[in-house]
């Protein structure tokens, strides 16, 4: 475990590399999103256009595992806040899902459509190698299977590849979310998806597959996305009702499924929520953890993000298991997501506490037990 925060500088393997990696843990510690993260690294390569942060939150259960996000944050501080929050979430996700991995996440501050050049990815692969197994990565928003495959030829510290790996984790994430939505409906006494109204925010890799599954079982869909073509396609394929970006939250649906980016639910807009269940793929959908209480007080059942969306992580983590990737064993673990959620819902109700407090408690129980070992 790395806990002392002694600043260090990492050197890429090749002497002529233009990459510089600095320890910015002390700088990160000044932000509200910092939560005793073990180490935060900043990789900079001006020649090759890399500006990346790797945040390692907690490695008590194992090395940091979490995807790489490619997103053009307007300021470095906004990006740092994002990756600190995401890496913390990965610690909880691994712990609750029973994985022997810790929390880590990376952010490449760039536009994935215009800036993600082979040179940038080369530099990033060097950064991962220099981290020397502290952190394993995989897909996230803006980082594709093709990117993972590109990295895999340069570093073993990447998952979700088609090069002897498990490929795209998104369909598995979507499957877990689908099962989680059913678990939430069941908790509310609804046994079938037939006629159930789901408002889906974000029709990307996970959101689209989720819509396919919901549609196949008779759910009625309202959808939104910043990508107009995706919306049109959803109208055609799923007979979905298109909704304006800022109206999706207010749709009087049975379920609101956030599947775009995080930070979409806050004290300001929770009073406007039209759905009675919030269950989706997005990491950190709440601006503040505490605001889950506001949902509880409105009678909204919240499926904690890192519990319901753990399918993809279970899938990529399986690649690193001693025997290699085993799809059947992985899907059996994903099938346990509804059980875990049902337990969290029951405990939350009995204790009159928000579901995300209960989920965090489960994570801490496991981490603290490992600390004692
Ligand atoms: N892919 C996985 O396996 C996985 C696993 C766990 C969690 N997640 C989380 O699920 C979410 C979706 O992941 P993904 O892989 O589908 O990403 P993606 O990039 O494929 O899809 C995101 C979609 O959201 C849309 N979008 C962006 N901003 C929006 C807004 N303000 N309103 C409506 N739509 C908007 C985008 O146009 C895109 O279609 C992310 O928060 C991600 O962190 C994904």
Instruction: Note the pLDDT of residue 323.
Output: 87
Indicate where the chain has its CATH 3.40.50.10860 domain(s).
Answer: 9-89+101-152
Greatest Cα pair distance, the chain, in angstroms, is: 63
Q: Whose alpha carbon is nearest atom 33 of ligand 1? A: 225
Instruction: Note the pLDDT of residue 322.
Output: 87
Instruction: Note the pLDDT of residue 135.
Output: 97
With a CB cutoff of 8 Å and minimum separation 6, the contacts of 313 are 65, 66, 90, 93, 94, 97, 99, 101, 169
CA distance 369 to 240: 46
105 is known as an active-site residue: yes
Instruction: Note the pLDDT of residue 17.
Output: 83
Q: How far is the CA of 140 from the centre of ligand 1 (A)?
A: 8
Indicate where the chain has its CATH 3.40.50.720 domain(s).
Answer: 170-310+338-365
Q: How far is the CA of 258 from the centre of ligand 1 (A)?
A: 8
Instruction: Note the pLDDT of residue 3.
Output: 40
Which residue in 240, 345, 356 sits closest to 288, CA to CA? 356
Ligand 1, from 148, 174, 259: best to mutate by most atoms within 8 Å of Cβ?
Answer: 259
CATH number, domain 170-310+338-365 = 3.40.50.720
Q: Whose alpha carbon is nearest atom 21 of ligand 1? A: 204
The angle formed by the CA atoms of residues 321, 206 and 339, to the nearest 5 degrees, is: 60
Q: Whose alpha carbon is nearest atom 6 of ligand 1? A: 309
Please give the chain's pLDDT, 373 residues, in tens: 444 445 566 766 666 789 999 999 999 999 999 999 999 999 999 999 999 999 999 999 999 999 999 999 999 999 999 999 999 999 999 999 999 999 999 999 999 999 999 999 999 999 999 999 999 999 999 999 999 999 999 999 999 999 888 999 999 999 999 999 999 999 999 999 999 999 999 999 999 999 999 999 999 999 999 999 999 999 999 999 999 999 999 999 999 999 998 999 999 999 999 999 999 999 999 999 999 999 999 999 999 999 999 999 999 999 999 888 999 999 999 999 999 999 999 999 999 999 999 999 999 999 999 987 7
Q: Whose alpha carbon is nearest atom 9 of ligand 1? A: 282
CA distance 23 to 60: 20
ipTM of the complex: 0.99
Instruction: Note the pLDDT of residue 125.
Output: 97
CATH label, 9-89+101-152, candidates 3.40.50.300, 3.40.50.10860, 3.40.50.720, 3.40.190.10: 3.40.50.10860
Binding site membership of 260 for ligand 1 (Cβ less than 6 Å) = yes
Instruction: Note the pLDDT of residue 1.
Output: 41
Binding site membership of 203 for ligand 1 (Cβ less than 6 Å) = yes
359: its two tokens: 């989920």
CA distance 212 to 235: 12
Binding site membership of 305 for ligand 1 (Cβ less than 6 Å) = no
Instruction: Note the pLDDT of residue 372.
Output: 77
**Per annotation, catalytic residue among 105, 116, 182, 213:** 105
């Amino acid at each position: 475990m790395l806990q002392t925060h002694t600043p260090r500088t990492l050197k890429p393997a090749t002497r002529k590399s233009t990459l510089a990696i600095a320890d910015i843990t002390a700088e990160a510690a000044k932000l509200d999103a910092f939560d005793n993260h073990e180490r935060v690294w900043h990789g900079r390569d001006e020649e090759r256009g890399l500006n990346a942060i790797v945040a390692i939150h907690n490695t008590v259960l194992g090395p940091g595992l979490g995807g790489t996000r490619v997103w053009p944050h307007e300021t470095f501080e906004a990006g740092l806040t994002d990756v600190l929050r995401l890496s913390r979430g990965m610690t909880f996700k691994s712990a609750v899902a029973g994985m022997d991995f810790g929390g880590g996440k990376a952010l490449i501050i760039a536009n994935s459509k215009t800036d993600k050049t082979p040179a940038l990815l080369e530099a990033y692969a060097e950064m991962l190698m220099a981290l020397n197994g502290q952190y394993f990565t995989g897909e996230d928003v803006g980082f594709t299977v093709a990117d993972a495959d590109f990295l895999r030829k340069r570093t073993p510290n990447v998952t979700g590849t088609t090069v002897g790996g498990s490929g795209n984790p998104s369909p598995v994430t979507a499957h877990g979310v689908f099962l989680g939505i059913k678990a939430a409906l069941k908790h509310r006494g609804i046994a079938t998806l037939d006629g159930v109204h789901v408002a889906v925010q974000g029709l990307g890799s996970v959101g689209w597959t989720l819509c396919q599954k919901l549609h196949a079982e008779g759910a009625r869909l309202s959808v939104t996305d910043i990508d107009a073509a995706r919306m049109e396609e959803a109208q055609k394929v799923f007979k979905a009702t298109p909704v304006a970006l800022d109206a999706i939250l207010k749709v009087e649906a049975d379920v609101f499924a956030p599947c775009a980016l995080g930070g979409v639910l806050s004290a300001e807009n929770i009073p406007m929520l039209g759905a009675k269940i919030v269950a989706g793929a997005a990491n950190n959908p709440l601006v503040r953890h505490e605001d889950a209480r506001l949902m509880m007080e409105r009678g909204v059942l919240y499926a904690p993000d890192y519990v319901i969306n753990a399918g993809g992580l279970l899938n990529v983590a399986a690649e690193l298991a001693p025997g290699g990737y085993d799809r059947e064993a992985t899907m059996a673990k994903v099938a346990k997501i509804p059980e875990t959620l049902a337990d969290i819902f029951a405990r939350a109700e009995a204790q009159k506490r928000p579901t995300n407090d209960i989920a965090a408690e489960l994570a801490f129980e496991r981490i603290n037990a490992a600390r004692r070992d």
